[in-house]
Every structure is written in structure tokens, then in C-alpha cells.
Structure 1
């Protein structure tokens, strides 16, 4: 809220503490399970093949909400997480741009301080049907690197929807663009892209420098992006017990 005209509001006290790896992995598994259940239905497969990015994300949001309410995935319940929000309006790191809309936001009810910026943010992109890895980077990864989204957090997520005509090895395509000898894509990671294979699907993790300064004068530090690539062949996976 603006207390007086002519200057942006003083920001919260970020950067916030990182969520635990266990908590992040619970969300990985929740997304994989919700997606797998969607792909088990003809409507879900049809939306992946020909739906818009917004339609596919709305489907994922609905499936995540149903999973959250069911309590069937240990560690992912209404006592621990808030409902996934699609397209929530947020300000960027400067406080000047007030209508930034990350595709999905999931809050942890015990996260402190209690602020809408202390959450897990995801940007979702179609890969295929003319949408390339370059679009995924420029319209997705860059929004985190530049402080449009998740500027108060040390981590966030990218979700790629692999439509039927896309390259299923998205990780290789992403790494190759960043390692191109003459024209590498923007947002080159600080280090080699890592993999986490403990979830029902392999998660790639890229870490990116952030060069802006927060409104409280603090540096945000680098951000680790968890890349989840979801296609039609992702199977429904059984819940795995996880403590939080």
C-alpha cells in the first residue's frame, strides 16, 4: 500500500529463508501426481494436444486442488498448504509494476513472515506447436532472473507442457541452447544444470544470478529454478510417504 504519493512502498524484509528440500519435493510429487491423473482422462490428453496454455494450467490447478483436498498425498494437505492460485497479481521487485501474474502460486501455511511473496511460484510454458526452448527461456526463466516473479524467494519453478509434436528431451534442448558456442540463449546458469531423480519424474535444477537490488537495499542472491516437464506419457504415480 502506498503511504504517500511520489515514492513506492517500502518492501518486505526479503530475501526470505529457503523452504526445505523436503517441502519442495512434496510439491514436485503433487504436481506429478495431479498431472498424471489429468493425463489418464481423454479430456486431459485433448487439452494437452490442442488447448491453450491457460486452459492447460487451469486443468493442472483443478487437479492440484482436488489432490490437496483429498489428503491422499502425505505431506500435501490443507493443514500445510494453501490452494494453488492461478495468475495472482503481484508487484515486481521495484514495487512499481503491480500487475505481474505468475502462472501458479502455492503458499505454505506455516511460512514466516506471512506475506504473499513468501510462496512457491511457477511459470508454465507450452513446448511444441511452434513454442520453442527460446520462448521458454525468454518468457519464463527470464522473468525470475529479472525480478518480475519470486524476487523475495531463493527458489521457484518452471513447468513445461510437452505437447505431442515437441522434443521429449527438454533438458538436453535447454542445456544445448545455453551452451551454444556462438549464440547461447539468455539467462545462462551460474553452474551446470543439476538433476533430482527422487521425484516421480526427473527434475532439472538451474541456478541463476540476479543483479537487481531489493527495495530494502538487500541483494536477492541467486535463484534456483526447478524445471518440471510434463507430457502425455507421465504415468499416475502412487503417493510416497514424506515428512515435512
Structure 2
């Protein structure tokens, strides 16, 4: 459906962002950290219950298990249910100018503070360099979706989840890779700030900030840049 003519694309954008000022207000970092803790808890439960899936399953298999476990956790936790409405996988969305339809983020977290049309997006990648699950793929096929306007273009934040199988960490692998990207001119992946540890209760969580390579294509914000996006990285090992 990428061949929609401009007028029809504008119709789709108009209906999606009806009444909204973009980008949406930033989420409270405390809420982000609560969601990171949910993701960590879900992964630990899956690792305990389904060790073969964690050691050998592909991303889609793990993501499906994560979504189901997350929904159970939210249903069982009164605090989490104040922030998270529901979690879904592979729900269709469109990019910033509606030139690309049928895009499917890995995990979408619907929040009680927002309409469900504007979920928190989680992109998930395996990290296992010996099996070609590299940091380059993590960034090119994951992180770049946020800087290009494919995903989370209405939002000021997004999440990356890495299923690590080779002992790597954000400090040992992600930080040096993004430091090299930041040194380029212009910076690759529009790196504004390098990953800094966050959510201190978690083994490996960090936040980096990135510019975005697009401008809004409709409404009062048409032609205006969206500003930076904060990307929160959770690496589970």
C-alpha cells in the first residue's frame, strides 16, 4: 500500500493525528522505568519457564512470549495497570508521511495516559555476534527506524530490547558503536548523546538521545521537525 497518491495519504494522516499536537508530551521517566522493570521481569519469567526458547528461539518467538507474559503481569499488578493498558505485537501502523503502510513494530505498549493510537514502541533484536546478530543490525534494523520516522514519529521516546546471547552489554558494545557513529559528520543514527545508565535497579538499562531525519507532513506541524527522541535500551542476558 506504499503507492497511495498524496491526497489519500493526507487523509490517513489527518484522521490519525486529529486533535493532536505533535510531538506528544514526553512520558514521565518514572513511568518509563516502571515499564523497563516489567520487561525485565517478563524476560526473567520466560527464561525460567522456557529456557530453550530463550537460548534458541528467534525474535518473533521471544516477542510473542514477551507480549503474553507482559499482559499477565499488567493484569496482576495494580501499579502497572495504572500506567499500561495493554501490550500487543505486530499491530499495523504507518510512517510519518503515510508513504509506508502495514509496518509492524515488534511490541506496542498502549498507555493509560494516551489514546491507544499512540503506543510506546519497543523494537527487539537478538545480540549474538558469532551468529550474525550484530550491533550493526541492532542499529540499522532497529534504532534507525526511530530516526527515520518509520516508528514512534508522534512520540518523544521509544524502547529497544536486546536479547543478548554472547555476554555483550550496553557499555561493552552499544556505547563504543554509537561513539564511533557520533564522531562521523553528520553523526550516523543522529546520535545526540551517548547511552547513559538509567533504571539503576536493572542489570543493564541505558538511555541515548537522537535527532530525527524528517519533518512532519500534515496538519499545523507540517514542515516542522519533530525534535530529538529519547531511546531507552534494555539488554537482557
TM-score interval (norm. to shorter): 0.7 to 0.9
How is 1:213-232 mapped onto 2 (pairs within 5 angstroms)? 213-215=215-217, 216=219, 217=222, 218-231=224-237
Secondary structure of the residue aligned to 1:157 is: strand
Indicate the residue corresponding to 1:46 in structure 2.
52
Question: Could you list the per-position Cα deviations for residues 165-201 of structure 1 after superposition, in whole angstroms to 9, with x for gaps in the alignment?
Answer: x133233211212233999693151123211143333
| Equivalent residue number for residue 122 of structure 1 | 122
User: Contact (CA 8 Å) 1:32, 1:201: kept in 2 or not?
Assistant: no
* Structure 1 segment 67-146 matched on structure 2, within 5 A: 67-71=73-77, 75-77=79-81, 80-111=83-114, 114=115, 116=117, 118-128=118-128, 129-146=131-148
Displacement of 1:223: 0.4
SS in 1 for 2:80: coil
Q: Are the counterparts in 1 of residues 204 and 236 from structure 2 also a CA contact under 8 Å?
A: no
CA-atom RMSD in angstroms: 2.2
Look up the match of 1:156. 158
CA distance in 2: counterparts of 1:81 and 1:131, whole angstroms: 30
TM-score by length of 2: 0.84
- Distance, in Å, in 2 between the alignment partners of 1:193 and 1:183 is 14
Distance 1:105 1:182 in 2: 28
Give the match's secondary structure for 1:18: coil
* In structure 2, distance between residues paired with 1:150 and 1:108: 14
- Alpha-carbon offset, residue 144 of structure 1: 0.5
**Corresponding residue number in structure 2 for 1:211:** 213
Give, in whole Å, the separation in 1 of the partners of 2:116 and 2:87: 15
Separation in 1, partners of 2:213, 2:122: 21
Equivalent-residue separation in structure 2 for 1:131 and 1:125 (angstroms): 8
For residue 132 of structure 1, report the CA deviation from its aligned partner. 0.4
Aligned residues: 218
The answer to whether the 8 A contact 1:34-1:64 is kept is: yes
Q: TM-score, normalised by structure 1?
A: 0.82
Deviations 1:117-152 (A, max 9, x none): x22100000111320000000000000110000000
Separation in 2, partners of 1:30, 1:141: 21
Q: Residue 151 of structure 2 aligns to a residue in which SS?
A: coil
**1:38 to partner: Cα distance:** 1.2
Gap runs ≥5 in structure 1: 232-244
Structure 2's unaligned 5+ residue stretches are none
2:191 maps to what in 1?
189
**Aligned counterparts of 1:80 and 1:175: Cα–Cα separation in 2:** 30
